[in-house]
Amino acid sequence: MSSTAEFDGLVAVVTGGASGIGAAIASRLTEGGAQVAVLDLNPDDAAEGLFAVAANVADDASVRAAIDAVAERFGRIDIVVNNAGIGAQGSIEDNPDDEWHRVFDINVVGIARVSRAALPHLRKSPSAAIVNTSSIAATAGLPQRALYTATKGAVLSLTRAMAADHLREGVRVNAVNPGTADTPWVGRLLSSAEDPAAERAALNARQPHGRLVAASEVADAVAYLASPRSGSTTGTSIAVDGGMHELRLRPE
Ligand code: NAD
């Protein structure tokens, strides 16, 4: 097998694949030989050539219809990347209950909806894999991110539980924990800051390697976890965070 053909013959679903990290994952899996379907609120933003389906991961009927459309188009589903997610800012005092429910519904329950709709197809795959996008927020306490962090911690725990439930069905389940990544999401956060340049400098400085994470770097980790070559890797996570979780450097 050539190094660019590891996903040949496989079909991947990437939620939130029309922007940022998801778009980079869709592109990386396509490069690796997969046929990729993007499920997104904004399918028109997906890169040309991808099978883009309108779907809201917070809506079960919409998810089931989208998974059916992918299965009908390609005849199989081997890989699911649960990447769609939204942010939330503030401490526990800052978000009303309905915002807690809304963000959990997308970031956590969305993973359950998409995965359970795809499972009948994954069970038939010779190398089924689910990869969930968690975050550095799941493993490090960040200020003003209480609700978001709670959802991403849940993603990490859910990943392990799913890995245990589906191991013997041949479905591996892993997570990727990106540090602050240079995506439209972070672009929106920066442009809403009082001083976007200072805010970007502060985010860069928070990274031990001194810069934001590239979406393509996260995509390479997802490709590793999704690959048929990673058959012994399940129930774990890879941090792609420039060392933010594990390292303690002295100030320069
Ligand atoms: P982004 O906003 O650039 O892209 C998110 C995509 O998800 C968009 O295309 C959006 O339309 C789609 N989406 C949002 N809600 C959806 C829904 N209900 N149903 C279907 N699609 C939906 O964001 P990003 O920065 O690429 O983030 C992607 C994932 O990575 C998220 O889960 C986020 O929590 C995680 N993450 C991001 C960073 C970062 O710094 N950017 C760091 C760690 C983790």
Smallest Cα–Cα separation from 5: which of 39, 49, 48, 35?
35
Cα separation, 232 vs 221, in Å, equals 15
Residue 56 Cβ contacting ligand 1 at under 6 Å = yes
Distances (CA, A) of 245 to 15, 133, 206, 241: 26, 16, 11, 7
Share of the chain above pLDDT 70, in %: 98
Q: Which residues are catalytic?
A: 148
| Candidate of 14, 15, 39, 40 to mutate for ligand 1, largest count of ligand atoms within 8 Å of Cβ | 40
Residue recorded with tokens 């890169």? 47
128 bridge partner residues: 171
pLDDT of residue 158: 99
β-pairing verdict for 51-54 and 237-240: unpaired
pLDDT of residue 102: 98
Report residue 4's pLDDT band, with 50, 70 and 90 as the boundaries.
Answer: low
Residue recorded with tokens 């502060």? 202
pLDDT of residue 63: 99
Q: Which two tokens stand for residue 218?
A: 């996260």
Long-range contacts of 138-144 (CB under 8 A, 24+ apart): 138/177, 139/177, 139/239, 139/245, 140/244, 140/245, 144/89, 144/90, 144/91, 144/94
Q: What are the DSSP E strand ranges found in the chain?
A: 11-15, 35-40, 51-54, 79-82, 128-133, 171-178, 237-240
Ligand 1, residue 20: give the atom nearest the CA. 26
Q: Which two tokens stand for residue 66?
A: 């989208």
pLDDT of residue 160: 98
pLDDT of residue 5: 82
Tell how far the Cα of 243 is from the centroid of ligand 1, in angstroms.
Answer: 22
Residue 122 has pLDDT above 60, yes or no: yes
pLDDT of residue 1: 45
Greater pLDDT, 4 or 176: 176
Cα separation, 59 vs 189, in Å, equals 26
What residue spans define the domains of the chain? 11-178+214-239, 181-212
Q: What is the pLDDT of residues 197-244, one digit of tens each?
A: 999 999 999 999 999 999 999 999 999 999 999 999 999 999 999 999
Cα separation, 249 vs 209, in Å, equals 10
Residue 118 Cβ contacting ligand 1 at under 6 Å = no
Report residue 252's pLDDT band, with 50, 70 and 90 as the boundaries.
Answer: confident
Residue range 173-177: mean pLDDT, rounded: 99
Identity (one letter) of the amino acid at 139?
Answer: T
Residue 104 has pLDDT above 70, yes or no: yes
Tell how far the Cα of 86 is from the centroid of ligand 1, in angstroms.
Answer: 6
- The answer to whether the beta carbons of residues 176 and 222 sit under 8 Å apart is yes
Q: What is the pLDDT of residues 56-95, one digit of tens each?
A: 999 999 999 999 999 999 999 999 999 999 999 999 999 9
- The answer to whether the beta carbons of residues 170 and 128 sit under 8 Å apart is yes
- The answer to whether the beta carbons of residues 20 and 181 sit under 8 Å apart is yes
Tell how far the Cα of 127 is from the centroid of ligand 1, in angstroms.
Answer: 26
Which class does domain 11-178+214-239 fall in? Answer: alpha beta
